[in-house]
Chain A
Amino acid sequence: MEYEFYAHRITGGIGADDRFWESLEEGEFRLPRCADCKRWMWPAHFRCGQCGSWEQLWEPVEMSGRIYSWTRAHYAFDRTKERTEDLPYVVVVAEVPAADGARVVGVLAGPDEGVHVGAEVRGHIDPPSEKAKGYPAVRWSVVN
């Protein structure tokens, strides 16, 4: 499969999460865990700091969790200008219990009533878009 996000590569960060983005383009939400000690390791890294393994498994994870934190962005900064017309928009950090509480970021989809720490959210995947800088993206919606 040809993955679109490679053409829009963002170089900041640790750089061990290619498989995350590839999976999203395949329509699957996968998170990494250590192939040996099975610890969930998020954000993705190259080596398990607990057991020393260099191998990871990328396992499908159910896209549901709770809001760990959130912010409502009212200003479009330089590198996220693509979202100017959506202002204000809410960004959610969701805690995903199926991956031992991994915290996964996504822009809120749907109404923002009920956005608060602890609120239940469900996720879906957006295909690569200009707003997400050519990457696929996780979106979270509040479960009412």
Chain B
Amino acid sequence: MVNAIMRGTTAVVGVGQTPWYKRGTSGEPALKLAMRAIVAAAEDAGIDPSEIDGFVSYGSERNDGQRMMPALGTKELRFGALVWTHGGGIPGALGLAATAIVTGQANVVVVYRAMSEYRGRRLRVDVAQDDTSPQHLVNGLDSPAQMCALRSIRLIEAEGVPARTLRDMALASYHHAKRNPRAIGRDTELDAETYEESRWVSEPYHLFDCSRENDAGSAVILVSAERAKDLKQTPAYLLGAPMGAAQGWGMLEESGNPYWSAGFQGVADRLWADTGYGPGDVDVAQIYENMTGMGVSALIEHGFCTPESAGEFVTFDNLVAPNGGLPINTSGGNLAEGFIHGMSLVGEAVRQIRGTSTNQVPDANLSLMTGGPGDPVVSTALFASAAAL
């Protein structure tokens, strides 16, 4: 049975983002980038920033609403929260914002993330939140790239998924970035040969399998579906955004099951149950790929393919707009557009519903955005046009 309280009762009506800067080059602290993105999202929606009464983020976001409210002219802060845990929390943040709206706690809620190395820490330290265990650090494992690599080796060697699927994920993202003027990687000509010859980061990941680090801010604004109708943008209705972890997952270091999982066991099933749709209905997807291999695992767990059929499904031709069976990461994604802890993927999922992507999928009515894969707790979201409500 669908979740009638959450399904289609709120919508994203504003999208705002700063330019993507190479890390450390924005010249602005994260707080200012967050506010730039939030103000841009409000302008996009046709709502005065002072009307925003809810602030929701995830991971280690430190630019909380109370810090920004004097500068945004906030009339009243009525709701504020951070969703666990890292990038796995993004769609869950959308779900929490929607919860605040449908329960009458807030009316205009912004979901955002901003990062900057300017006067800050190394971004990768910020993203890791100092919660890397001694079992990892003692044994030469620091970066998510390395921990995800362990899972992807298992996917390849034990589940038989071809390593070539990782490459095709990367090629699709860089292909899409070429048409996106905002994308940091728009001028990178990536072909199979360049990919194979690029240096290893942590096997099976080459350089081009890994997301970037950027200074930027990114924000979206949600309101009730009723209010959304009167605003200037085409609403991207939120159909569902479940978060969670099944038994056998959670903070289990290297003992989670299945080991190759991106964490969506149970969570993806709830998305389909809550929304009344299935993987075959989705027109376009933004698949959070901290590393390509985890994106492949996310596709499998959302039911687009199985480990056995992944080789057939995860091909460049099938993943690119406008004619692929499932165009993914149509802005270039975390690999080629820029990495702001995955938040840019939300904006692109919304643009596909509006029909304004630079790699638009014709008649996109159902747009998926999956959260940071491999996190101990993850979330996933489905947006719809009015036609698919």
Contacts and interface: CB of A to CB of B under 8 A. Distances in A.
Nearest to A126: B138
Interface in B117-152: 122, 124-125, 130-143, 145-146, 149-151
Contacts of B71: none
Interface string A102-115: 11111100000000
B154 A78 contact: no
Contact of A80 (B125, B141, B259): B141
A118 B139 CA distance: 20
Contacts of A72: 200, 202-203
A10 B133 contact: yes
B142 A79 contact: yes
Nearest to A18: B134
Given A68-B154, A72-B200, A91 B141 contact: yes
Given A74-B199, A91-B146, A13 B141 contact: no
Given A12-B131, A102-B255, A107 B139 contact: yes
B245 to A, nearest CB: 13
Given A42-B255, A69-B151, A13 B139 contact: no
A74 B203 contact: yes
A43 interface: yes
A124 interface: no
A80 B140 contact: yes
Nearest to A5: B134
Contact of A10 (B138, B157, B158): B138
Most chain B CB neighbours (cut-off 10 Å) among A68, A72, A77, A78:
A77
Interface string A76-103: 0111100100101101010000000011
Contacts of B251: 13-14, 43
Contact of B253 (A13, A106, A116, A132): A13
Most chain A CB neighbours (cut-off 10 Å) among B142, B157, B200:
B142
A133 B138 contact: yes
Contacts of A74: 199-203
A80 B137 contact: yes
Contacts of A80: 137, 140-142
A103 B130 contact: no
B140 A43 contact: no
A69 B138 contact: no
Contact of B254 (A79, A83, A105): A105
Contacts of A17: 134-135
Tell me the dominant secondary structure on chain A's binding face. Answer: mixed
B295 to A, nearest CB: 17
Nearest to B150: A69
B1 interface: no
B358 to A, nearest CB: 32
A73 B202 contact: yes
B69 interface: no
B102 interface: no
A13 B255 contact: no
A135 B185 CA distance: 40
A101 to B, nearest CB: 9
A93 B138 CA distance: 13
A3 B272 CA distance: 51
B387 interface: no
Contacts of B150: 69-71, 91, 93
Given A12-B130, A91-B139, A78 B259 contact: no
Given A13-B131, A91-B140, A135-B138, A71 B154 contact: no
A73 B122 CA distance: 20
A103 to B, nearest CB: 4
A132 B125 contact: no
B31 interface: no
A105 B139 contact: yes
Contacts of B153: 69-71, 117
Given A43-B252, A69-B151, A69-B259, A79 B137 contact: yes
A13 B122 contact: no
Given A13-B133, A86-B140, A132-B139, 7 more contacts: A13-B132, A13-B136, A13-B253, A17-B134, A80-B142, A83-B140, A91-B150
Interface of B: 122, 124-125, 130-143, 145-146, 149-151, 153-154, 157-158, 199-204, 251-255, 259
Interface of A: 5, 10-14, 17, 21, 42-43, 68-75, 77-80, 83, 86, 88-89, 91, 93, 102-107, 116-118, 131-133, 135, 137-138
